[in-house]
Amino acid sequence: MNRLQITEKIIQTKISKDIKWSFVAETLGLSKEYVTAACLGQMPLNKEQAVLIASIFDLTEEETNWLTVPPNRGSLPTAIPSDPTIYRFYELINVYGSAIKELIHEEFGDGIMSAIDFSMNITREPNPNGDRVNIQLSGKFLPYKKY
Amino acid sequence: MNRLQITEKIIQTKISKDIKWSFVAETLGLSKEYVTAACLGQMPLNKEQAVLIASIFDLTEEETNWLTVPPNRGSLPTAIPSDPTIYRFYELINVYGSAIKELIHEEFGDGIMSAIDFSMNITREPNPNGDRVNIQLSGKFLPYKKY
Amino acid sequence: MNRLQITEKIIQTKISKDIKWSFVAETLGLSKEYVTAACLGQMPLNKEQAVLIASIFDLTEEETNWLTVPPNRGSLPTAIPSDPTIYRFYELINVYGSAIKELIHEEFGDGIMSAIDFSMNITREPNPNGDRVNIQLSGKFLPYKKY
Amino acid sequence: MNRLQITEKIIQTKISKDIKWSFVAETLGLSKEYVTAACLGQMPLNKEQAVLIASIFDLTEEETNWLTVPPNRGSLPTAIPSDPTIYRFYELINVYGSAIKELIHEEFGDGIMSAIDFSMNITREPNPNGDRVNIQLSGKFLPYKKY
Amino acid sequence: MNRLQITEKIIQTKISKDIKWSFVAETLGLSKEYVTAACLGQMPLNKEQAVLIASIFDLTEEETNWLTVPPNRGSLPTAIPSDPTIYRFYELINVYGSAIKELIHEEFGDGIMSAIDFSMNITREPNPNGDRVNIQLSGKFLPYKKY
Amino acid sequence: MNRLQITEKIIQTKISKDIKWSFVAETLGLSKEYVTAACLGQMPLNKEQAVLIASIFDLTEEETNWLTVPPNRGSLPTAIPSDPTIYRFYELINVYGSAIKELIHEEFGDGIMSAIDFSMNITREPNPNGDRVNIQLSGKFLPYKKY
Amino acid sequence: MNRLQITEKIIQTKISKDIKWSFVAETLGLSKEYVTAACLGQMPLNKEQAVLIASIFDLTEEETNWLTVPPNRGSLPTAIPSDPTIYRFYELINVYGSAIKELIHEEFGDGIMSAIDFSMNITREPNPNGDRVNIQLSGKFLPYKKY
Amino acid sequence: MNRLQITEKIIQTKISKDIKWSFVAETLGLSKEYVTAACLGQMPLNKEQAVLIASIFDLTEEETNWLTVPPNRGSLPTAIPSDPTIYRFYELINVYGSAIKELIHEEFGDGIMSAIDFSMNITREPNPNGDRVNIQLSGKFLPYKKY
Amino acid sequence: MNRLQITEKIIQTKISKDIKWSFVAETLGLSKEYVTAACLGQMPLNKEQAVLIASIFDLTEEETNWLTVPPNRGSLPTAIPSDPTIYRFYELINVYGSAIKELIHEEFGDGIMSAIDFSMNITREPNPNGDRVNIQLSGKFLPYKKY
Amino acid sequence: MNRLQITEKIIQTKISKDIKWSFVAETLGLSKEYVTAACLGQMPLNKEQAVLIASIFDLTEEETNWLTVPPNRGSLPTAIPSDPTIYRFYELINVYGSAIKELIHEEFGDGIMSAIDFSMNITREPNPNGDRVNIQLSGKFLPYKKY
């Protein structure tokens, strides 16, 4: 048994029982972004949260234990994503990456936006010309240390 | 002469004359995100905007013409970015990519967030534990067409 | 169980029962291009369509549910396709790609042809020197947003 | 001197003299798709056509000779194109490639669509929901030889 | 079940029953080059030929059906072949590729040798200094279409 | 100065003086296949032959010396060739590679066809359905040594 | 002019004037690890430090300005380093990477060692069996944020 | 059965029985760094140590034998690691690699730090601004041999 | 069943029965280098030798037949080997490859060292500073054929 | 100026003045293998040796200084060498790599053959069937350290 098998079981159960990620998130009292990532094997949960997930997706005790372990992260099967929905974000980095770098350095000096002390928020923005996907990224600025 | 040479000239002039991207953006009346991308050779400008850029960065008429042509986009020299500031965004896609896909489909159905009808906004979010980089992405949702 | 297994089951049943894609398309009232892509795991179907597919290819209820989920797209096992029939289209992009880009920009300005709001039509064009494959691609033009 | 340098000179002259590909095509009496590909170093021209191109783009006699030589084809700098306008066509092959293969085989039997005995036609299709890019591909069907 | 499994079954049966490809070719009345490629999953056979193959290699009816379907071609597991017998041919292209291109263009003008309307003949050429492998490739010349 | 620069000079002179490879081959008394490969920097020549080449292509003494040195071989700029004329040969290996291996082993036992003790012959084969490119490969069979 | 050219000039001057990195570090009052990285174009310096570097390596004012700009980081020309001295560190990650991950998680919980709030110290450790290279890495532990 | 399966069994048992690597290390009387690497299939153990591991993780005799065999090393599934905790070390080599090389050569002359006669020590360094991960690498310096 | 499965069975039996490669080699009367390569699926054996191997490693008759077939060679799972013991040889080619080429050409003229008519001998060379691995490679020189 | 330019100058001078590597080696009193590697930019020389090289190849003082610096090693332009003379050694690792690993471990236990404390000797071995290239590799065995 490995983590991937648990992810596949969760997805399969989600489809056959028609469960919504937002429902799972409410049950755990966490954001839907974090919970979805955890269910897909990218984030760990604590014991209590894992038990809740187990009850929703009919997991065994051993499967539940796996949910509490820091996973081997990385959800892309290839270096460049092939799925169009995911690829568009890679394209944004490809087109806007150097601009983002310039603007972060202009505003904050040398450093990076943390991908660890980080949160994300995906919402629907109604718009008469067609609704928009609104994604808010928030990460702590980490300056390079001089020594 | 090619577009890359103009980008290098702009960067060099920016460093020696200590120009801010936000100043350039104000002069053109566009967002700093779009203007920076344009100066780095990822977006075209119209004739009037190009002339303003030319006056800021001392471009010749021929160089100015290049700014109005749709560029060959792609600002990453390698498939996976090596600069840490840019890499962190690639890491976010790698870790959160499948979660983002799931949540967009749960909210909107099958489709993508446009990377063309798209805008971005980078701001500093003051925070007692260290200021945060705040990036807002807004793209039109495009549903797959059935036929 | 995963989507790939369902695709393999559909193909196997198609071979042993000698089913035509055009027959499947007529049964669903959709184009044969869309239906074939859906059966190969590249497009989702609605509940009603999935049930029709299930009856043609003897799918179980759980397998039928999978057909309604937006799939992880990407039908090429390698970055550059090795099958000659598919490779020829990659070759066309390699040889004609920059010309297509130039002509789209000359006609429409900066932007792209959508691969989402998109349809395709494959027909046989009789010709005394040997019949021709005729493929019509139609995608909405999406101009880059300035902001 | 090599072919790439001639391509760059043509593009630069096109920008500074604001020449349209459709104008070049009319002057030569060929389709704009073929002429653009030839100017970008993907197709050769005969002597007479090369001289016309030379007069439009101010080429020397030696540069003109290069236009008549079968070029080393391939206009993508990377295996997977990074420019969004070109990438969308790669995405189409990635998503629809296996469906296209199935439908060509269903209609014609085993074989390929030629990328050599081939023509392409790019037109604007007016549409109240936003104009569409219409691309027609026509290639001779080549059946595999049994021996 | 998929085509690869049938290929593996054929190879295994060939080894345990010590069957020669030349015997299989004679039985079918086709060249040994075509028949071997077909048995290895690179070429389809018609119904009658497939039945003969089935009787030689003890295939079931369902397995026999697979032999008549145009396969997904590509027999190299990596982009550059690692087996020395196959690699030598890749080396020939790497060393002689540009010379072959020059000579085809000098003799025929711009175009390619077809890999579809194509046959191959492998024979042993006795030689006092050690016998030689003699491979004859014959493909229709396809000129690029001007339009 | 390096070998690549000499290759480029030879090609350029060939174009501007309209020299045929077959003429160069006759002058040297070697096959056109070997001579073309040598001029493209894939084979060395002896002193006498190099001097003849120099007189045809106006090379300096230093450039002539380079022609006699065993070159760094490899004429493909990418692992998989992008030019269609060269690619077709790569495709043949991809589709027929394992069949060739099987048939060489069936005829000769374990070993390879040499790519060093090797010659090649490209001829035009007239054919009412369109002339054919005929390529004859002849390489010494080298059996694996047991020890 | 770009950053790489300044790095090359610094290295060349270092060789011809036989300057030690430890001397440069003392002059600036920073660690030799940070200063070397800065001179090789991986870290920026402030104005005062850049002027000191300029006086050591004879840089012009424009070259000095470049030293203060956050650089595009990444000192490996290939994804896997080919130089043996650098490769050994890549090998350590390849062999010990998963063990390091396990032990960081066992000690700290889920998170990473920062590569930004980070310092390094390289020293010689005398040893009768041959001196040892001693490298001390110290990075802030960053726990994943739950939200 | 292969080594990977034993690694997976050890990890699974570790999770379900909640075993600490530091406990395993104490039991064997080796460092936790070495023991963790051994359990993850990167280092062999002697018979006695293997038996102790077997008793902790409930291994069969055959599985225990595997632990004593020098393994095929390499714990990264891709050339560039995707897990953020491991990636940070790859980033350090990418950013600091050439500086490390320079400083080793300045201190020791030409040569490398051994990755074989090597040990590592991971400790927690308490710090009011957030605890730090402290990693000490110690490898024998190996000078290149002149001959 | 395929050749890889037989290799895995041989390795597993070797570990559980503690068989030495040198013992296997003596039994067959071949060098240990050849025999090890054959057992790992890189060289074929004749019928008699295969039967001896089968008796040592408890192979079935069908498994024994596989040992006599020329295998698909290539024992590296990745283009660049990750195991340090094997990698060191790749490093030698990377560092010394061009020097080896120069020296072979200086001694023999243009050509290669055969990897087919080739033998290898690995011995231990006692040395007071630590024993040395001594590897002797012997391959027939093959001159390029002129034609 | 960088090291590569010096390598190119040495090769060019070698060709125009017809210098032998063995002559250079005798002048320096080192093996021809080491000296060739040093001239090709893979090994450093001491001051005295560098001056001798400079007198043979007409180097300036600054170029001579470069010869004494530990170089960035790696003489292969691509991950897999394309030149047949060098490729054959890569093929040997690909075919024999796992056998070499097995035999080193059987003779010495877990560890590697050093590529640093290493020497090589290339000689011609007369043989009535065609002379053989004889290459002797000698590297110190380095056992993995347990700690």
CATH code of the domain covering residue J103: 3.30.1160.10
Segments of B88-129 assigned E as strands: 111-125
Both I48 and I7 in a single domain? yes
H73 → closest Cβ in I8, I12, I84: I84
Contacts of F7 (CB under 8 A, 6+ apart): F39, F40, F41
What would the mean pLDDT of A6-11 be, rounded to a whole number? 94
- The answer to whether residue I75 is domain-embedded is no
DSSP one-letter code for J70: P
pLDDT digit string, tens, across residues I73-91: 998 889 999 999 999 999 9
Chain G positions in Cβ-Cβ contact with residue J73 (cut-off 8 Å)? 82-85
Interstrand relation of F132-143 and F111-125 (parallel, antiparallel or unpaired): antiparallel
Instruction: From residue G99, give the alpha-carbon distance in Å to each of A45, A73, H22, H115.
Output: 21, 15, 12, 15
User: What is the rounded distance in angstroms from the CA atom of residue H50 to the CA atom of residue H57?
Assistant: 10
Question: What are the helix (H) ranges across C58-147?
Answer: 61-66, 84-108
Closest CA to I7 of I71, I51, I97, I55: I71
Q: Minimal CA–CA distance to C31: which of C18, C39, C22, C40?
A: C22
Closest CA to J25 of J53, J48, J1, J65: J53
Contacts of D12 in chain B (CB under 8 A): 1-2, 62
Same domain, G89 and G59: no
Counted across chains B and D, CB pairs separated by less than 8 A come out at 23
Of D90, C101, B77, the residue nearest A97 (C-alpha): B77
| Total domain count, chain A | 2
pLDDT tens figures, J38-91: 999 999 999 999 999 999 999 999 999 999 999 999 988 899 999 999 999 999
pLDDT tens for chain C, residues 1 to 147? 788 899 999 999 999 999 999 999 999 999 999 999 999 999 999 999 999 999 999 999 999 999 999 999 998 889 999 999 999 999 999 999 999 999 999 999 999 999 999 999 999 999 999 999 999 999 999 999 999
Contacts of F140 (CB under 8 A, 6+ apart): E127, E129, E130, E131, E132, E133, F113, F114, F117, F118
To the nearest whole angstrom, how far is the Cα of A145 from the nearest Cα of chain C?
35
The closest of I136, I142, I89 to I112, measured between CA atoms, is: I142
J36 touches chain I (CB under 8 A): yes
CB B74 within 8 A of CB A94: yes
What per-residue confidence (pLDDT) applies to B75? Answer: 84
Query: Does residue H17 fall inside a structural domain?
Result: yes
pLDDT tops 80 at residue I1: no
Report the gap between the CA of G85 and the closest CA in chain J (Å).
9
Q: Which residues of G touch B84 (CB under 8 A)?
A: 73, 115-116
Contact C143, C110 (CB under 8 A): yes
pLDDT confidence of residue A120: 96
Taken in order D52, D57, D58, D61, the sign of the CA dihedral is: negative
Low pLDDT (below 70) residues in chain E: none
Q: State residue A102's pLDDT score.
A: 96
Instruction: Please state the separation of Cα B65 from the chain's center in Å.
Output: 20
CATH of the domain at G58: 1.10.260.40
Both D7 and D60 in one domain: the answer is yes
- pLDDT of C75 reads 85
* Residue J38 counted as domain residue: yes
**Residue after which a domain boundary falls, among B17, B36, B66:** B66
pLDDT tens string A118-134: 999 999 999 999 999 99
Residues E62 and E103 in one domain: no
Give me the amino acid identity at G56.
I
Residue G44 at interface with chain H, using a CB cutoff of 8 Å: no
Asked whether the beta carbons of residue E116 and residue C82 sit closer than 8 angstroms, the reply is no
Question: Do J62 and J20 sit in the same domain of this protein?
Answer: yes
Best of I6, I19, I82 to disrupt the H interface by mutation (most H CBs within 10 Å)?
A: I82
Whether residue B60 sits in one domain with residue B93: no
Q: What average pLDDT does this structure show over A109-116?
A: 96
Question: Distance between CA G121 and CA G137 in Å, rounded?
Answer: 7
- Give the DSSP H/E element, type plus range, for residue I134: strand I132-143
* CA contacts within 13 A on the Cβ side of J4: 9
Q: Do C110 and B30 touch (CB under 8 A)?
A: no
Active site positions of A, annotated: 88, 91, 114
- Same domain assignment for residues D46 and D91: no
Q: Please check whether residue J78 lies inside any domain of the structure.
A: no
What's the CA dihedral at F91, F96, F100, F101 to 10 degrees? 90
Tens digit of each residue's pLDDT (9 = 90 or more) over J13-37: 999 999 999 999 999 999 999 999 9
Shared domain for D18 and D61, answered yes or no, is yes
Q: Return d(Cα G107, Cα G109) in angstroms, integer.
A: 6
Beta strand I132-143 with H111-125 is unpaired
From chain A, pick out residues whose CB is under 8 angstroms from the CB of G118.
145
Using a CB–CB cutoff of 8 Å, tell me whether G147 touches chain B.
no
Q: Find the mean pLDDT for residues H40-57.
A: 97
Phi first, then psi: give them for residue F119, nearest 5 degrees: -140, 160
Judge whether C16 is closer than 8 Å to chain E, CB to CB: yes
pLDDT in tens, F39-94: 999 999 999 999 999 999 999 999 999 999 999 999 888 999 999 999 999 999 99
Q: Which residue's structure tokens are 């069937």? A: J129
Picking from F65, F80, F112 by the largest number of J CB atoms within 10 A of its own CB, the best residue to mutate is F65
The shortest CB-CB distance from A99 to any of B36, B114, B141 is to: B36
- Return the exposure string of B23-53: e unless at least 16 CB atoms fall within 10 Å of the residue's CB, then b: ebbeebebbbbbbbbbbbbbbbbeeebbebb
State whether residue G140 is helix, strand or coil: strand
**DSSP string over B13-75:** HHHHHT--HHHHHHHHTS-HHHHHHHHTTSS---HHHHHHHHHHHT--HHHHHHTTSPP----
Q: Sorting pLDDT into bands at 50, 70 and 90, what band is D1?
A: confident
Q: Is C76 on the interface with A (CB under 8 A)?
A: yes
Contact criterion met (CB below 8 Å) for B76 and G65: no
Query: For F115-135, how does the pLDDT look when each residue is reduced to its tens digit (9 = 90+)?
Result: 999 999 999 999 999 999 999
CB-nearest partner of J99 from I42, I101, I111: I42
Determine the residue of chain J that is closest to G78 in CA distance: J79
Assess if residue G22 is contained within a domain.
yes
For residue H127, tell me if it sits in a domain. yes
pLDDT reading at D65 higher than 80: yes
More confident residue, J76 or G21: G21
Is J78:I106 a contact under the CB 8 Å cutoff?
Answer: no
Rounded Cα distance, I135 and I89, in Å: 11
Chain E with chain F: Cβ pairs closer than 8 A? 222
In this structure, are H100 and H58 located in the same domain? Answer: no
Interchain CB contact of D5 with F (< 8 Å): no
Question: Which candidate in I55, I75, I114, I119 is catalytic?
Answer: I114
Q: Which of E20, E44, E66 is the last residue of a domain?
A: E66
Instruction: Enter the tokens of residue H91.
Output: 């980033």
- Per the CB < 8 A criterion, the answer to whether I100 and J31 are in contact is no
**Closest in H33, H105, H147 to J34, CB measured:** H147
Distance, CA of A24 to CA of B65 (rounded, Å)? 54
Is B66 in contact with D8 (Cβ distance < 8 A)?
A: no
pLDDT value at residue A77: 87
Q: Does C133 touch chain F (CB under 8 A)?
A: no
Task: Tell me: pLDDT of G1 over 90.
Answer: no
In the predicted structure, residue B107 carries a pLDDT above the cut 90: yes
- pLDDT value, residue E77: 87
pLDDT in tens, A26-79: 999 999 999 999 999 999 999 999 999 999 999 999 999 999 999 999 988 899
DSSP state of J44: -
What is the pLDDT at residue F2? 84
- The residue segments making up the domain with residue G53 are 3-66
pLDDT tops 90 at residue I127 = yes
**Whether F88 and E131 lie within 8 Å, measured CB to CB:** no
pLDDT at F37: 96
Angle between helices D32-39 and D3-17 (to 10 degrees): 120
Q: CB distance from J131 to chain I under 8 Å?
A: yes
Lowest mean pLDDT segment, chosen from B43-47, D11-15, I7-11, J2-6: J2-6
**Which positions in chain C touch E144 (Cβ < 8 Å)?**
none
Window from D50-54, H35-39, I1-5 with minimum mean pLDDT:
I1-5
Torsion of CA E2, E7, E8, E14, to 10 degrees: 150
CB-nearest partner of C84 from F80, F82, F91:
F91
Chain-chain contact of G80 with I80 (C-beta, under 8 angstroms):
yes
Q: Judge whether D72 lies within some domain.
A: no
How many helices (H) and strands (E) chain C has is answered by 6, 2
Which residues make Cβ contacts (< 8 Å) with residue D18, sequence separation at least 6? Answer: none
**Any domain includes A125:** yes
Q: What is the DSSP letter of A29?
A: T
Rounded to an integer, what distance in angstroms lies between the CA atom of residue E137 and that of residue A13? 55
| Cα dist from H80 to A74, A112, B85, H116, I80, whole Å | 11, 20, 17, 22, 13
The β-bridge partners of E119 are E138
C91 carries an active-site annotation: yes
Decide if A80 touches D, using CB distance below 8 A: yes
- Taking residue A23's Cβ as centre, other Cβ atoms within 10 Å add up to 12
* Average pLDDT rounded to a whole number, residues A5-12: 94
Which chains are adjacent to chain H, needing at least 3 Cβ pairs under 8 Å? A, B, G, I, J
* pLDDT tens, residue by residue, J121-145: 999 999 999 999 999 999 999 999 9
Q: Where are any strands of DSSP class E within E42-131?
A: 111-125
Looking up tokens 């219409």 gives D134
CA distance I19 to A121: 60
As a whole number of angstroms, the distance between CA G4 and CA B8 comes to 12
The pLDDT of residue G18 is 93
**In Å, how far are G18, G31, G87, I129 from G23, measured between CA atoms?**
11, 10, 27, 36
